[in-house]
Amino acid sequence: MISYTTPVISKFGTLKNCICSLFIATALVTAGEASASTKKQVKKAAHSAAPVAKKDESHFQQWKEVSSFIDSMVSKHGFTEAELKATFKQVKYIETARQLMRPAPPGKPKNWKAYRARFVEPYRIEAGVAFWDKYADALAKAEREYGVPPEIIVGLIGVETIFGKQTGGFRVMDVLTTLAFDYPDTPTRDARMQFFRGELENMLLMARESSLDPFVFKGSYAGAIGWPQFMPGSIRKYAVDFDGDGKINLTDSPVDAIGSVAHYLSMHGWKRALPVAFPATLVVAEKSEQLNTALGKGLLASYQLQDLKAIATTASVEAPTTIQYGLVDLQNGNDATEYWLATENFYAITLYNRSYFYAMSVYDLGRVIAAARQK
């Protein structure tokens, strides 16, 4: 059995304003959904504030919902009631994590250019070139095994954690428990609590499988861990021992992170040698029914290029005519919206984080780093 090694906290900052993870498919504040100013405030809070615990709500082992969760873990996975009660007695309620999960207040319109500038910037580009040079062999191996090119892996890790420099300082058990049983009052509260209870279950299983104290795992305010910001469930399902040392370590092994990102994308629809996206020009008027229908397809490439010609076209001669596309809009505040024809590989990135802004930032950062490396 592959085991997980004890994570080590990054020396850079105490908290991580994770844009992923998820997320993560949807575990975090959705990338690109808030204004740039709001996101900047969240980022500042996540990096500068210490985790805040509400003392009057910190005794999780006394909560009825937690007792039910413990009973479930005992019956499903063979934990003992006593050990889990002792574990939850050590958990701290993290108000900071709860507050950072609140939806951003209404503000400025979405702005792709402002969002992109936060990630495709000189520091990440320089760090990305160095990372690529140092781990070129592992990146080449990941492409051979999983079909994911280096620029996508490099772009994703660069967006997530600036190549391991911002991996988070929360105890994962604390934030997962807080969010699993006291998620903020939002329209999706019940679904989000169910998600985090599932991740809490995976966290306890991962710790047991590794014979590790669950409190040694550190991560983002949503519980994402390591260089690629995987949630515990994703670690158990998609992380790989890519450096061959018999252990999975997404915090201290960039090689494991590289292989795990490639494996994750390959399992979520990435196709070898398929392009990602092509800039497009609208043929129809904005807000037309045809346009709204095409944009309403969601995270799906369902059009042939010929079918889209009545809605949007691309000047790129490199766009294959034999594959499927979706239409993506990148809003620019008061400026003109950008439109792109996205392939299945673009949508595979959105399954790492369900945001067009996020996926395009990964794609752009990787391309810019590749170009800088050639120079």
- Torsion sign (Cα): 275, 279, 284, 287: positive
Rounded CA Rg of the chain? 21
CB 288 within 8 A of CB 259: no
Identity of the amino acid at 238: Y
Q: Which of 160, 199, 201, 344 is catalytic?
A: 160
Identify which of 262, 258, 264, 247 has the alpha carbon closest to the alpha carbon of residue 7. Answer: 247
Q: φ, ψ for residue 236 (rounded to 5)? A: -65, -30
Angle at 228 between CA 223 and CA 229, to 5 degrees: 10
Asked if 65 is an active-site residue, the reply is: no
Residues 257, 128: Cα–Cα separation, whole Å? 14
From residue 293, give the alpha-carbon distance in Å to each of 188, 304, 305, 319: 25, 15, 16, 22
Where would I find the beta strands (DSSP E) of 72-219?
Answer: 170-171, 218-219
Q: What is the β-pairing status of strands 218-219 and 170-171?
A: antiparallel
- The residues that are catalytic are 160
